[in-house]
């Protein structure tokens, strides 16, 4: 009963539609009607700018982070880092990601859950999360494509778990989760991949004002 309650709570936390609320309250628009139509950090960067994009990304990360920490309120799991505890953390984090993608507070039209997923990883295994940030930022600086940076970081996730931080992540469920995450992120970004191949993917302005071509 307690675990079911925590899962529902994690979903509700993940359902907080940060990008939608920021776009409506601050900018007077619904971000889902612009750009890619996703209510996530990537589209917020494109449509609302760097300041709002960073705010949305941070808030979405916090959702995943807090959802995972709910595991400490369960009396039915062993103390960390036991396998049952890690399993519960994974399920709570995934519940938040599902909430972000299908938010009950925003007509079940959310984003892709990348920032929330990262917050989840940060809460479970911060060393891996920091490594993924390095991969993401380097790719973003090189290409200015948020989508490509997200895809690259997601692919790096299982590689880090399996070959570099293997001794610190012994739980089989966590390894399987890392592999599944890479596949799911690539799958959910299939449209972005098509646009990247065709050269039509929008770039994020980092150090200069957006040009007309980048806003298309």
Radius of gyration of the chain (CA): 17
The pTM for the full model equals: 0.83
pLDDT, tens only, 162-191: 888 875 556 788 888 899 999 988 988 888
pLDDT, tens only, 45-79: 889 988 999 999 999 999 999 999 999 888 666 66
Q: Residue 155: is its pLDDT beyond 90?
A: yes
Percent of the chain with pLDDT over 70: 88
Which pLDDT does position 212 carry in this prediction?
40
What does the H/E/C string look like for 19-87?
Answer: HHHHHHHHHCCCHHHCCCCCCCHHHHHHHHCHHHHHHHHHHHHHHHHHHHHHHHHCCCCCCCCCHHHHH
């Amino acid at each position: 009963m307690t675990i079911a309650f925590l899962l529902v709570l994690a979903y509700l936390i993940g359902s907080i539609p940060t990008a939608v609320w920021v776009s409506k309250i601050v900018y007077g628009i619904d971000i889902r009607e612009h750009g890619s139509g996703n209510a996530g950090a990537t589209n917020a960067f494109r449509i609302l700018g760097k300041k709002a994009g960073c705010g949305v990304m941070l808030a979405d990360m916090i959702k995943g982070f807090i959802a995972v920490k709910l595991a400490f309120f369960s009396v039915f799991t062993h103390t960390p880092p036991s396998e049952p505890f890690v399993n519960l953390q994974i399920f709570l984090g995934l519940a938040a990601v599902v909430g972000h993608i299908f938010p009950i507070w925003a007509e079940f039209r959310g984003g892709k859950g990348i920032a929330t997923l990262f917050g989840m990883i940060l809460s479970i295994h911060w060393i891996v999360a920091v490594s993924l940030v390095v991969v993401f930022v380097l790719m973003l600086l090189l290409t200015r494509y948020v989508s490509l940076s997200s895809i690259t970081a997601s692919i790096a996730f299982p590689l880090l778990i399996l070959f570099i931080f293997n001794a610190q992540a012994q739980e089989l469920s966590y390894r399987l989760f890392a592999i599944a995450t890479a596949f799911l992120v690539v799958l959910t970004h299939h449209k972005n991949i098509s646009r990247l191949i065709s050269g039509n993917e929008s770039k994020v302005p980092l150090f200069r004002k957006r040009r007309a071509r980048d806003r298309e």
